[in-house]
């Protein structure tokens, strides 16, 4: 009995840690002439260079990418954090877009944040 319990505990300890996906906490859009600037606040349990939120993108409501912001380093001590992307061209007549975050290890998050364009 003790052997089975110890084996089960050891098996659980050797499983890879399942980290939370990056999450968009807030996002805003500002039109500047014919393009848009997006300010996005996201959080992720970054652990260092091996595992961190490495980008976010602006998508139309059909899932087409309109802009990509690459995050070049981890933000272990800065959570949540805000970064901007300027010069995004939004097709005329678009009233909403989505923001989706990416993790270096796990890829694109399932969750998306909807932004109304005013």
Spell out the domain ranges in the chain. 19-116
For the stretch 16-62, pLDDT in tens is 445 588 989 999 999 999 999 999 999 888 777 888 888 999 999 99
User: Cβ distance 69 to 40 under 8 Å?
Assistant: yes
What are the beta bridge partners of residue 36? 31, 88
The reported pLDDT for the residue numbered 76 is 65
CATH superfamily of 19-116: C2 domain (2.60.40.150)
The reported pLDDT for the residue numbered 53 is 85
Residue 62 CB coordination number (10 Å): 6
For the stretch 47-104, pLDDT in tens is 778 888 889 999 999 999 999 999 987 776 777 889 999 999 999 999 999 999 999 8
pTM for this prediction: 0.79
The pLDDT of residue 11 is above 60: no
């Amino acid at each position: 009995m003790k052997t089975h319990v110890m084996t089960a505990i050891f098996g659980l300890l050797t499983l890879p840690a399942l980290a939370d996906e990056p999450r968009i906490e807030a996002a805003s859009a500002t039109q500047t002439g014919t393009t848009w600037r997006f300010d996005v606040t996201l959080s992720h349990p970054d652990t260092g260079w091996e595992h961190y939120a490495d980008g976010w993108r602006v998508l139309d409501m059909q899932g087409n990418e309109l802009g990509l912001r690459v995050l070049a380093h981890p933000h272990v001590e800065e959570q949540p954090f805000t970064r901007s992307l300027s010069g995004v061209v939004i097709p005329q007549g678009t009233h909403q877009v989505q923001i989706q975050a990416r993790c270096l290890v796990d890829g694109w998050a399932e969750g998306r944040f909807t932004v109304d364009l005013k």
